[in-house]
C-alpha cells in the first residue's frame, strides 16, 4: 500500500473495469478479498484505538458493499465491536459480494437494515457506493449519507466516498465526508479534483496485487516533485545570464501595473536570465522599486526585442482595443507563449485571435480559472466545474495548447491527450496576484528551454508546493500573498535541484 505521494497513474471508471477483467486469473481469489483486507488493516491501524473500539460498517447493494462486508468480517475476527448495516438485496448480489455476505453471517448472523438510533461508535466504514454510481442519491440513500455526515465521526471510505463521481469529482446529490479514503488498483480522477479534494480526506492507494500500468498504459498521472523537477538540470559553473533566456511580460494597463510586476518578479526569481516588463499604461513607474532588476518598458518596446525566448501576456492587461492589438502581435510572434487573465478574456471575445492562435506552430500555454475557461468554451462556470477533465481536454484540443485548468486539483492537459493532476496547494492560493505569479513561473521555465508540458507541470507543482510549505510555517493559508509564494517556490526549487 502506497501513501499518496508518488507519481501514480490515474484511470477512469471504464479503464478500471477493463483492468479488472484483464487481471482475472483462473483459480485466483477475487479482488474483493484483497480489497476487504487492505481496508480492514487501514481501519484497524488508523481509526480504531484498541480492540474494544466499535465501528459502524455501511454495506451497499453492489460490490463496494461486498468490500465493506469483508472489512466487517476481518474487524470482527480481530475482536473489534462491529455493527453492519446492509442496504442491498441478497438475491441481487454478485457471486463475490454474496460470498462476503455469507462470511459475515457466519460470525454475526444477519446484518442490520438501518442504523440503530441509540448506537455509539468510534468510526464509520463507508461501503455504500463505489466508482460505479451512475445517478444522484435520493430518498433513503440521501438520508443515510446525510446522517453519516451528521455523526461527525472519522470515516474510512472504500474506493471513493459514496456519492462522489469517480470520473469528475462532482457530488451526486450528497457525498460522505471521509477522513481517509482507500482506493484500489489505482487513483481515479474524481479523487483528485473538484469536490474530491474536499470529501476524500487522506488518500491511500492499494493495488491489491494488480499491476495496472502493465495491463493498461495510463494516459493520466499525478504530478510529483521528482517528475516535475527532472527536466530542469543543475546549472553549469561556467554559465551566464544569456543561457537562461529572456522573458517578456506584457500587461500592466492603467491601475493594474502591480500584476505585471508580480509576474515579472516570479519569472526572475524562478530562473529567467533577463525579464522585461512591457506596460500598456501610458504612465507607469520607470522601475519596480521592490525588484529593480526588472527592465520596465512600453509594451511595443518589449515586443520589438529580438533576443526574447518567451512571451507571457495577460497580467493586468485589461481588455481595451490596445490590449487586443498587443495580444494579436504576441500571437503572431514565433515565441513560446503563456496566456492568462485578460489575454484569455480577449481571446474568448475575438474569433480572429482564436483562429490566429489555432494556426500557430510554436508552443502555447493557457492557464484559465474556471470562469475564464467557460468564456473560452462558450459555456458557464458550473458546467466547467461539473467536468473539469473534459473542459481542460476540450480547451487543449481546440487551441492546440497546453492547458492548466486552475482550481482545487488543477488539471493539466496536453494536445496529445495526456493529462496530469496536481495535488499541491491549499486555499491560501485564493488570493489576488496568485495567477500572475504562476504565469511568471511558467514563463521562466519556458525561457530556460523546457518544453511547454514540462514547464507547465513544474510551474503548477511548485506554485502549490510553495503555498503548502508556507502554510506549514504558519504563513497562510489565511493572508498568504502572491509575493510570498514566489519566494517559497524559489527556495523549494533550489533545495531540490542543488542539495
Looking up residue 160, the CATH number of its domain turns out to be: 3.40.50.10260
pLDDT value for 498: 75
Q: Could you tell me if 346 and 251 lie in one domain?
A: yes
Contact 188, 15 (CB under 8 A): no
CATH number, domain of 337, equals 3.40.1190.20
pLDDT value for 233: 85
Among 219, 246, 266, which residue terminates a domain? 219
Q: Could you tell me if 190 and 311 lie in one domain?
A: no
Q: Could you tell me if 230 and 253 lie in one domain?
A: yes
| Burial class of residue 411 (count of CB atoms within 10 Å of its CB; 0-12, 13-18, 19+) | buried
Give per-residue pLDDT as tens, 172-230.
Answer: 999 999 999 999 999 999 999 999 999 999 999 999 999 999 999 999 999 999 999 99
Among 359, 335, 355, residue whose Cα is nearest residue 347: 355
Whole-angstrom distance, CA of residue 468 vs CA of residue 479: 13
Contact 364, 343 (CB under 8 A): no
Q: Could you tell me if 207 and 310 lie in one domain?
A: no
Among 219, 237, 252, which residue terminates a domain? 219
Q: Could you tell me if 18 and 119 lie in one domain?
A: yes
| Burial class of residue 134 (count of CB atoms within 10 Å of its CB; 0-12, 13-18, 19+) | exposed
Give per-residue pLDDT as tens, 262-311.
Answer: 999 999 999 999 999 999 999 999 999 999 999 999 999 999 999 999 99
Domain count of the chain? Answer: 2
Q: Could you tell me if 249 and 157 lie in one domain?
A: no
421 strand-pairing partners: 222, 411
Whole-angstrom distance, CA of residue 406 vs CA of residue 479: 20
Grid cell digits, residue 460: 503548477
Give the residue carrying C-alpha cell 466504514. Answer: 125
Number of residues written out for the chain: 499
Structure pTM?
Answer: 0.94
Q: Could you tell me if 178 and 96 lie in one domain?
A: yes
Grid cell digits, residue 188: 481515479
Q: Could you tell me if 190 and 290 lie in one domain?
A: no
Q: Could you tell me if 124 and 194 lie in one domain?
A: yes
SS3 82: strand
Measured from the Cβ of residue 289, the count of other Cβ atoms closer than 10 Å reads 8
* DSSP label of 45: I
pLDDT value for 3: 40
Q: Could you tell me if 179 and 287 lie in one domain?
A: no
Q: Could you tell me if 195 and 178 lie in one domain?
A: yes
Give the residue carrying C-alpha cell 492587461. Answer: 317
Whole-angstrom distance, CA of residue 194 vs CA of residue 201: 13
Residue 77: what are its φ and ψ, rounded to 5°? -65, -25
Q: Could you tell me if 238 and 212 lie in one domain?
A: no
pLDDT value for 478: 96
Burial 454-484 (b: 16+ CB within 10 A, else e): bbbbbbbbbbbbbbbbbbeeebbbeebbbbb
Among 172, 199, 219, which residue terminates a domain? 219
> Rounded to whole angstroms, what are the CA distances from 87 to 22, 48, 93, 110, 113?
30, 24, 11, 12, 6
Residue spans of beta strands (DSSP E) within 261-396: 274-279, 295-298, 310-313, 337-339, 364-366
pLDDT value for 6: 52
Gyration radius (Cα) of the chain, Å: 26
247 strand-pairing partners: 275, 310
| Owning domain of residue 103 | 2-219
Residues of the chain where predicted confidence (pLDDT) is lower than 70: 1-6, 499
Amino acid at each position: 500500500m502506497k501513501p499518496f505521494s508518488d507519481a501514480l497513474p490515474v484511470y477512469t471508471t471504464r479503464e478500471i473495469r477493463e483492468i479488472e477483467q484483464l487481471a482475472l486469473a483462473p483459480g485466483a481469489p477475487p479482488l474483493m478479498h484483497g480489497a476487504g483486507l487492505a481496508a480492514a488493516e487501514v481501519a484497524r491501524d488508523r481509526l480504531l484505538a484498541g480492540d474494544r473500539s466499535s465501528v459502524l460498517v455501511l454495506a451497499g447493494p453492489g460490490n463496494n458493499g461486498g468490500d465493506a462486508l469483508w472489512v466487517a468480517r476481518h474487524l470482527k475476527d480481530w475482536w473489534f465491536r462491529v455493527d453492519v448495516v446492509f442496504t442491498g438485496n441478497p438475491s441481487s448480489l454478485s457471486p463475490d459480494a454474496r460470498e462476503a455476505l455469507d462470511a459475515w453471517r457466519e460470525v454475526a448472523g444477519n446484518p442490520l437494515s438501518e442504523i440503530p438510533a441509540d448506537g455509539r461508535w468510534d468510526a464509520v466504514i463507508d461501503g455504500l457506493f463505489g466508482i460505479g454510481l451512475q445517478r444522484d442519491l435520493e430518498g433513503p440513500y440521501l438520508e443515510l449519507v446525510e446522517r453519516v455526515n451528521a455523526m461527525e465521526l472519522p470515516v474510512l471510505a472504500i474506493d471513493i466516498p459514496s456519492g462522489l463521481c469517480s470520473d469528475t469529482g462532482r457530488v451526486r446529490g450528497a457525498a460522505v465526508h471521509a477522513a481517509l479514503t482507500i482506493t484500489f488498483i489505482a487513483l481515479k480522477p474524481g479523487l483528485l479534483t473538484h469536490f474530491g479534494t474536499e470529501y476524500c480526506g487522506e488518500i491511500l492507494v492499494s493495488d491489491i496485487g494488480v499491476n495496472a500500468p502493465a495491463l493498461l498504459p495510463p494516459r493520466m498521472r499525478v504530478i510529483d516533485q521528482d517528475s516535475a523537477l527532472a527536466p530542469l538540470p543543475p546549472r553549469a559553473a561556467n554559465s551566464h545570464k544569456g543561457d537562461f533566456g529572456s522573458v517578456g511580460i506584457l500587461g500592466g494597463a492603467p491601475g493594474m501595473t502591480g500584476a505585471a510586476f508580480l509576474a515579472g518578479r516570479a519569472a526572475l526569481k524562478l530562473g529567467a536570465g533577463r525579464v522585461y516588463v512591457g506596460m500598456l499604461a501610458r504612465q507607469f513607474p520607470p522601475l519596480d522599486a521592490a525588484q529593480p532588476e526588472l527592465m520596465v518598458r512600453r509594451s511595443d518596446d518589449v515586443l520589438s526585442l529580438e533576443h526574447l525566448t518567451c512571451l507571457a501576456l495577460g497580467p493586468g492587461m485589461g481588455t481595451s482595443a490596445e490590449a487586443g492589438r498587443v495580444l494579436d502581435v504576441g500571437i503572431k510572434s514565433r515565441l513560446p507563449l503563456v496566456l492568462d487573465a485578460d489575454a484569455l478574456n480577449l481571446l474568448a471575445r475575438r474569433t480572429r485571435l482564436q483562429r490566429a492562435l489555432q494556426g500557430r506552430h510554436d508552443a502555447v500555454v493557457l492557464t484559465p480559472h474556471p470562469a475564464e475557461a467557460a468564456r473560452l468554451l462558450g459555456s458557464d462556470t458550473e458546467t466547467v466545474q461539473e467536468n473539469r477533465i473534459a473542459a481542460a481536454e476540450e480547451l487543449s484540443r481546440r487551441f492546440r495548447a497546453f492547458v492548466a485548468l486552475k482550481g482545487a486539483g488543477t488539471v493539466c492537459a496536453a494536445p496529445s491527450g495526456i493529462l496530469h493532476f496536481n495535488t499541491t496547494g491549499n486555499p491560501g492560493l485564493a488570493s489576488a496576484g496568485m495567477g500572475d505569479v504562476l504565469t511568471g513561473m511558467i514563463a521562466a521555465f519556458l525561457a530556460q528551454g523546457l518544453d511547454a508540458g514540462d514547464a507547465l507541470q513544474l510551474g503548477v507543482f511548485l506554485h502549490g508546493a510553495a503555498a503548502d510549505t508556507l502554510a506549514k510555517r504558519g504563513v497562510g493559508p489565511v493572508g498568504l500573498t502572491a509575493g510570498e509564494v514566489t519566494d517559497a517556490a524559489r527556495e523549494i526549487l533550489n533545495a531540490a535541484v542543488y542539495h
